[in-house]
């Protein structure tokens, strides 16, 4: 899964990486080195208007709330969507058909339990790792977004989820899942709001090729969402991290 990541992206860096306009909902956020569910983060989408399609940056809340949901708290359980079932799951299939997005990040965190890949319910102390592109480019994670209203007179809430897949061999020892990434040549097709065959869309999404990502141990301070700062992504000696 992907349950925590870092993003220092600004309107300028998003424009450099993706060539975006700024949506009305865009808010210039402070760098966040401990992005967690329910927090607001930048998102890249393509919007269709009468004068054509526009690639936009907007601000959305992590944890997708389906349009039919009665309570926005359902989003707390919708932070990731498995690529294997995203086209069929009621919570995601409408967004997968027409509301695909890029979740821009500096990198993401995974927790390693030691010996074997981290397992749900493991009692072993888990060592956090930060995973980022070797070239330090923007990580373009595949996402979906949705609009939701609590009532007719309420404001629209924009929420998103991150698609995941099986981890590549060089990262699978940390966790068995990883975010799906969108390559630069596939951005237009993935963000196209028009419907496309499921196989065609899934074919655009790939795990990062082995050797293109760096991973290093970081401080367990990232475990607490109240901690935030560039020190969270700094490498530490593995033996020190294991003994904290």
For residue 4, give the nearest of 232, 205, 158, 182 by alpha carbon: 232
Contact assessment for residue 72 and residue 65, using Cβ atoms and an 8 Å cutoff: yes
Look-up of token digits 């607001």: 40
**Residue 88, Cβ density class (10 Å: 0-12 exposed, 13-18 middle, ≥19 buried):** exposed
> b/e per residue, 89-118, with b = 16+ CB within 10 A?
eebbbebbbebbbbbbbbbbbbbbbeeebb
Catalytic residue (one of 2, 40, 88, 244): 2
Q: Tell me whether strands 157-166 and 52-62 are parallel, antiparallel or unpaired.
A: parallel
Catalytic residue (one of 21, 30, 84, 110): 110
Q: Is 2 a catalytic residue?
A: yes
Contact assessment for residue 23 and residue 47, using Cβ atoms and an 8 Å cutoff: yes
CA 40 and chain centroid, separation: 12
Q: Is 150 a catalytic residue?
A: no
CA 194 and chain centroid, separation: 22
For residue 63, give the nearest of 115, 131, 3 by alpha carbon: 3
Catalytically annotated residues: 2, 110
């Amino acid at each position: 899964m992907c349950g925590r990541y870092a993003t220092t992206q600004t309107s300028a860096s998003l424009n450099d990486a993706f060539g975006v306009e700024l949506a009305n909902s865009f808010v210039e956020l402070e760098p966040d080195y401990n992005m967690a569910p329910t927090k607001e983060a930048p998102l890249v989408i393509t919007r269709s208007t009468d004068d054509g399609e526009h690639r936009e940056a907007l601000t959305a809340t992590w944890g997708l709330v389906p349009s039919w949901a009665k309570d926005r708290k359902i989003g707390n359980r919708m932070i990731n969507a498995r690529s294997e079932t995203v086209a069929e799951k009621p919570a995601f299939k409408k967004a997968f058909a027409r509301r695909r997005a890029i979740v821009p990040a500096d990198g993401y965190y995974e927790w390693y339990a030691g010996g074997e890949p981290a397992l749900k319910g493991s009692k072993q102390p888990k060592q956090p790792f930060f995973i980022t592109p070797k070239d330090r480019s923007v990580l373009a994670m595949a996402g979906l977004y949705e609009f939701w209203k609590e009532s007719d007179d309420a404001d629209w809430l924009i929420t998103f989820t991150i698609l995941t897949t099986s981890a590549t061999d060089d990262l699978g020892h940390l966790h068995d899942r990883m975010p799906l990434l969108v390559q630069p040549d596939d951005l237009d097709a993935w963000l196209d709001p028009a419907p496309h065959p499921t196989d065609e869309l899934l074919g655009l999404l790939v795990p990062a090729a082995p050797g293109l990502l760096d991973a290093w141990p970081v401080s367990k301070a990232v475990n607490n969402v109240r901690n935030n700062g560039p020190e969270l992504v700094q490498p530490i000696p593995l033996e020190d991290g294991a003994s904290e």
